[in-house]
């Protein structure tokens, strides 16, 4: 009996071996040549860097697992993303039901990672690299469709690397330990709906570019005179016609600013100068600001055409 126990102990994989296997399976499923690794420690003190970036190929990453485990135990979260233009979209903050819905709809992820109990990230593999604009548009569309985090929907967002602990504050479990980031699936395939989905995303992006060109065709005042003449959002907030209605004020100001040559980012800064927490979380606030600005530019364009 004792010899059998020792035999089982010798054949049982070590924690490092299990981490290496999880990392290997995840990078194989992601299927990229070079990765950016981020070691994030938000409470870094003294001369410590908050983020330690590394650029490694898959083999170097595997050889570095022991060092990564040490850094993880020292309080750093371990993240990964493909380097450069790539063919992957990360969908963050998903439920188990959302992942199931993705599969049923033809968007089976190449890899699924459980970042904490009941919370998932999905890497969706496209048939070709998408670039910055198209990659961001695809990630946003996927997040909107399946209830992911819009704040993490862009072309090169970091995802968690499996095999290490999630040391995010508030994730400590009842046993006092941080949860392990687990690799749930890693088949590495392109999703079945890829061609149809990318056609839709490209069409939407083409329409967006056309609208942007139309906006640019509106002749703004010279920058110096524009800012000397442009009314501030506070002017609209003090105008009794709006009765203190923040939503009406935001739209009225945005239309006015858009018609006078202000950029989207300038208008966004002005709108966000008031507290928008009553609109909900950051995702809902961002949606509200985006809708307001889009509507404002559409109305400003109509006005310029005399409609």
* pLDDT confidence of residue 39: 95
Say if CB 96 and CB 57 are below 8 A apart: no
Nearest by Cα to 269 from 284, 249, 259, 254: 254
Answer yes or no: do 188 and 226 share one domain. no
What residues contact residue 109 under an 8 Å CB cut-off, 6+ apart? 91, 99, 102, 103, 122, 123, 124, 125, 185, 191
* pLDDT confidence of residue 9: 47
pTM (two decimals) = 0.68
| The domain boundary residue, chosen from 132, 162, 197 | 197
CA dihedral for 185, 187, 189, 193, sign (positive or negative): negative
Answer yes or no: do 157 and 10 share one domain. yes
Answer yes or no: do 163 and 229 share one domain. no
Answer yes or no: do 185 and 234 share one domain. no
Answer yes or no: do 74 and 141 share one domain. yes
Say if CB 202 and CB 194 are below 8 A apart: no
Answer yes or no: do 11 and 113 share one domain. yes
Residue 279: other Cβ atoms inside 10 A: 16
Nearest by Cα to 49 from 75, 19, 15: 75
The answer to the question of residue 209 being in a domain is: no
Interatomic CA distance for residues 290 and 267, integer angstroms = 10
Residue 51: other Cβ atoms inside 10 A: 14
19 phi, psi to nearest 5 deg = -65, -45
Its domain, for residue 132, covers 2-197
The answer to the question of residue 242 being in a domain is: yes
Give the chain's domain count.
2
Answer yes or no: do 59 and 192 share one domain. yes
Answer yes or no: do 161 and 282 share one domain. no
Q: CA dist 304 to 130, 263, 296, Å?
A: 35, 16, 12
Q: Look up the CATH number of the domain holding residue 156.
A: 3.30.70.1790
Nearest by Cα to 263 from 302, 303, 226: 226
Rounded to 5°, angle at Cα 91 from 85 and 96: 150
DSSP type of residue 186: -
Answer yes or no: do 161 and 258 share one domain. no
Residue 10: other Cβ atoms inside 10 A: 7
| The domain boundary residue, chosen from 168, 197, 226 | 197
Q: CA dist 188 to 95, 126, 130, Å?
A: 20, 10, 17
The answer to the question of residue 205 being in a domain is: no
The answer to the question of residue 213 being in a domain is: no
Q: Which residues of the chain have pLDDT under 50?
A: 1-9, 221-228, 307
Answer yes or no: do 93 and 232 share one domain. no
User: At 125, is the secondary structure helix, strand, or coil?
Assistant: strand
The answer to the question of residue 203 being in a domain is: no
């Amino acid at each position: 009996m004792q010899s059998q126990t020792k035999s089982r102990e010798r054949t049982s994989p070590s924690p490092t071996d299990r981490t290496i296997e999880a990392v290997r399976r995840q990078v194989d499923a992601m299927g990229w040549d070079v990765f950016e690794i981020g070691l994030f420690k938000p409470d870094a003190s003294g001369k410590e860097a908050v983020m330690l970036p590394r650029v490694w190929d898959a083999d170097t990453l595997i050889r570095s697992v022991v060092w990564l485990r040490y850094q993880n135990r020292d309080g750093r979260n371990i993240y990964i993303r493909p380097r450069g233009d790539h063919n992957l979209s990360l969908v963050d903050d998903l439920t188990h039901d959302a992942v199931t819905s993705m599969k049923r709809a033809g968007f089976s992820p190449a890899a699924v990672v459980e970042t904490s109990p009941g919370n998932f990230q999905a890497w969706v593999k496209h048939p070709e690299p998408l670039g910055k604009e198209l990659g961001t548009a695809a990630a946003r569309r996927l997040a909107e469709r399946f209830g992911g985090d819009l704040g993490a929907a862009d072309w090169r967002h970091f995802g968690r690397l499996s095999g290490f602990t999630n040391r995010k504050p508030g994730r400590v479990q009842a046993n006092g330990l941080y949860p392990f980031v687990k690799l749930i699936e890693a088949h590495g395939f392109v999703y079945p709906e890829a061609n149809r989905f990318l056609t839709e995303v490209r069409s939407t992006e083409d329409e967006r570019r056309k609208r942007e060109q139309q906006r640019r065709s509106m002749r703004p005042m010279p920058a110096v005179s524009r800012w000397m003449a442009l009314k501030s959002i506070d002017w609209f907030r003090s105008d009794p016609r709006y009765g203190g209605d923040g939503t009406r004020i935001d739209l009225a100001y945005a239309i006015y600013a858009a018609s006078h040559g202000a950029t989207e980012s300038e208008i966004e800064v002005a709108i966000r100068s008031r507290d928008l927490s009553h609109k909900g979380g950051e995702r809902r606030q961002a949606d509200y600001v985006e809708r307001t600005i889009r509507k404002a530019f559409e109305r400003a364009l109509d006005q310029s055409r005399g409609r």
